Structures are given as C-alpha cells and as structure tokens.
C-alpha cells in the first residue's frame, strides 16, 4: 500500500498536470494491451490534449465536487473526474501515474468520485481494457457489459445515400435532451453546449424517429443517440462519410444491444474486435446508442 498521499478536489491550476497524468497512463495502457495487426500506439497529440483540458475545465465548472486528485510531495499521482446529470452518475476520466499503479491510489480516488454520486439512481462508466480498472468497477457494484470496436478505412463505394440527415446546431439542444431521456433516462444538458461547439453535429428529426450524432475528429461517431434503429443507422453512415478514405476510422463503444452498429461496420468491411466494457449500475445498456467515452 502507498500511504503517503492526500486526496483533494481538482482546481483549475491542476488541469495541465491532470491531463499529463491521464495521457501517460493511457499511453502506457495502450502499449501494455497492444494487439497484433493494430496500429502502433502513439502518445496523445497536442490537439487531443487541448480538447482534454477544455473538457476538464468545463467539468470543473459544472461538477467541481466530482473531480478529485491524489497527490504527494512530488506532484499529482492520479485523478478521477465524474459528473451528475439527471440522477445519473458518470465517470469521465480515471487514471493513476504508471509508476504508482496497483498500490491503492486508484481505489481511494474512485471511492471519492463515487461518493459524489451517492443518491443517484444510475451509473455509467466507459471502462478500458485494464484489468485493474475492471476490478475496481466491479467492486464498485457496476455490471460490466463487454464492448466492441470496428476499425478500418471506409471504402467510399460502400457508402449509401443518406437523405434524412441534416447539419445540427445549438438550436437542437432541446431535441437532443429529449432523445437522451428516451434512450438513457438522463439528458446530457450543459454538456451539449460544449459538444455542439467542439464537434460537427448531425441530426435526424422525423415523426418515425429522431436522433443526433457528434462526429469524431477525423470521422466516425463520438456520441450517437436515436429513438429508432433506422435513424441511428442513417446517422452512423453520415459520421462514416466524414472520414477520409486513406485514414482508418472507428466505431467504438458498441455493446451487444447495439447490433445495428455492428451491421453498419460490417457492411463497410471494418474489422470487428472486442474492446473495453460499458459499466452500468441501475440501468440496461442504452439502445440505439453509442456512448461517448467522456460524457457517456
């Protein structure tokens, strides 16, 4: 056990150091869990680091009591960042510096973040492939639903014509909150304001089914929610059409409840692998839904 450290809420001054610790921990995890045939893991880019800092700054303003760091005299050892939306507790980030993992720092951080969610009816975690993380989440009472990822370059010739999807804007936030509540009981609320600024947004708004998707940088879905599989499928195709034919893209965070997304990825010949889990408490895997890793 590693005793000589303290836990305290994250402050705005900690943001760069917390970003660094998470970047190091995830890069080390990618190296440790790399698979034959996958691209070599690369450190987080400066662009992705800037997005990460912006996200943490946003969550510090909305959920200051959900964001915790562990530190010793040498600096920050790890962090757990969580948020609450409509009685759902969500874990946005969780990492401990590679040299000090496995010594109890992560347990205390997760306990502090879970304490912020006491009284919530539901919980959601996008869990990595790290067995240490899976252990902590299961001991925290989460059911671990294995997830899939489809990866590859999208052949333009296989893209169908999608007619019902339009560009979205901040004016669609009420519609998106309503879709969120139908699909997963809680709205993303204030997070839509950040997401609509930082991502391309596409929307379907029809009597037979509505939904939205934020497009990941480089194409593919970052977050997708819909009230029908047909709307979800059209939105997913639109996010894939945004990818470059020469650069691999991915459909990640696909639970078995979202086979419609496996069917889209299979139709455009992406390679299917298992990757991580969706950890849930008090709810079933949402569908049609592809959760975001940071706002779920």
Ligand X SMILES: CC(C)(COP(=O)(O)OP(=O)(O)OC[C@H]1O[C@@H](n2cnc3c(N)ncnc32)[C@H](O)[C@@H]1OP(=O)(O)O)[C@@H](O)C(=O)NCCC(=O)NCCS
Q: Which two tokens stand for residue 67?
A: 């964001």
Distance CA 204, CA 225 (A): 10
Q: Taken in order 142, 176, 50, 247, is the CA torsion positive or negative?
A: positive
In the complex, the smallest distance separating the C-beta of residue 107 from ligand X, rounded to whole angstroms, is: 3
According to the binding rule CB under 6 A, does residue 89 interact with ligand X?
A: no
According to the binding rule CB under 6 A, does residue 136 interact with ligand X?
A: yes
- Per CB under 6 A, the segment of 36-44, 57-65, 92-100, 206-214 that binds ligand X is 92-100
According to the binding rule CB under 6 A, does residue 34 interact with ligand X?
A: no
> Residue 182, exposed/middle/buried by CB under 10 A (0-12, 13-18, 19+)?
middle
In the complex, the smallest distance separating the C-beta of residue 132 from ligand X, rounded to whole angstroms, is: 4
Kindly write out the interface string for residues 100-129 of this chain, putting x where it contacts ligand X by CB under 6 A and - elsewhere.
-xxxxxxx-------------------xx-
According to the binding rule CB under 6 A, does residue 92 interact with ligand X?
A: no
Q: Which is nearer to ligand X, 125 or 204 (CB)?
A: 125
Q: Is 25 helix (H, G, I), strand (E, B) or coil?
A: helix
In the complex, the smallest distance separating the C-beta of residue 92 from ligand X, rounded to whole angstroms, is: 10
Contact positions with ligand X (CB under 6 A) in 6-25: 25
Distance CA 201, CA 195 (A): 8
CB 245 within 8 A of CB 154: yes
According to the binding rule CB under 6 A, does residue 27 interact with ligand X?
A: no
Q: Looking at residue 84, what DSSP letter applies?
A: E
According to the binding rule CB under 6 A, does residue 133 interact with ligand X?
A: yes
Distance CA 270, CA 154 (A): 7
Long-range contact pairs involving 96-104 (C-beta distance under 8 Å, separation at least 24): 96/21, 96/25, 96/70, 97/21, 97/24, 97/25, 98/24, 98/25, 98/28, 100/2, 101/25, 101/132, 102/132, 103/1, 103/2, 104/1, 104/2
Phi, psi of 87 (to 5 degrees): 65, 20
Which of 131, 157, 161, 246 is the binder for ligand X (CB under 6 A)? 131
Q: Which is nearer to ligand X, 211 or 291 (CB)?
A: 291
In the complex, the smallest distance separating the C-beta of residue 83 from ligand X, rounded to whole angstroms, is: 15
Which of 10, 14, 15, 26 is the binder for ligand X (CB under 6 A)? 26
Nearest position to ligand X, beta carbon: 106
Kindly write out the interface string for residues 252-271 of this chain, putting x where it contacts ligand X by CB under 6 A and - elsewhere.
--------------------
CB 212 within 8 A of CB 202: yes
According to the binding rule CB under 6 A, does residue 141 interact with ligand X?
A: no
- Residues near ligand X, by CB under 6 A: 25-26, 29, 94-96, 101-107, 127-128, 130-133, 135-136
């Amino acid at each position: 056990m590693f005793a000589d450290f303290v836990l305290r809420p994250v402050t705005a001054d900690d943001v760069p150091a917390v970003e660094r610790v998470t970047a190091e921990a995830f890069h080390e995890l990618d190296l440790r869990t790399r698979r034959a045939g996958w691209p070599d893991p690369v450190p987080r880019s400066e662009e992705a680091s800037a997005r990460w800092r912006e996200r943490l700054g946003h969550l510090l303003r909305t959920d200051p009591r959900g964001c915790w760091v562990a530190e010793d005299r040498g600096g920050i050892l790890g962090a757990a960042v969580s948020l609450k939306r409509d009685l759902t507790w969500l874990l946005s980030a969780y990492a401990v510096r590679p040299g000090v993992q496995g010594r109890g720092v992560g347990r205390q951080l997760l306990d502090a973040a879970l304490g912020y969610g006491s009284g919530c009816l539901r919980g959601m975690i996008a869990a990595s492939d790290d067995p240490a993380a899976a252990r902590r989440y299961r001991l925290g009472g989460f059911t671990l639903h294995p997830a899939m990822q489809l990866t590859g370059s999208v052949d333009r010739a296989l893209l169908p014509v999608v007619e019902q999807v339009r560009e979205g804007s901040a004016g669609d936030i009420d519609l998106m909150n309503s879709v969120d509540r139908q699909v997963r009981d809680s709205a993303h609320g204030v997070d839509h304001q950040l997401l609509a600024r930082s991502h391309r947004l596409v929307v379907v708004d029809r009597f037979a089914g509505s939904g939205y998707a934020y497009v990941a940088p480089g194409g593919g879905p970052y977050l997708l929610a819909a009230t029908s599989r047909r709307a979800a499928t059209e939105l997913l195709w639109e996010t894939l059409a945004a990818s470059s034919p020469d650069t691999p893209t991915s459909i990640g965070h696909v639970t078995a409840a979202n086979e419609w997304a496996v069917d889209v990825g299979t139709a455009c010949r992406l390679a299917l692998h298992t990757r991580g889990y969706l950890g849930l408490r008090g709810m079933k895997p949402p569908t049609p839904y592809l959760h975001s890793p940071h706002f779920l």
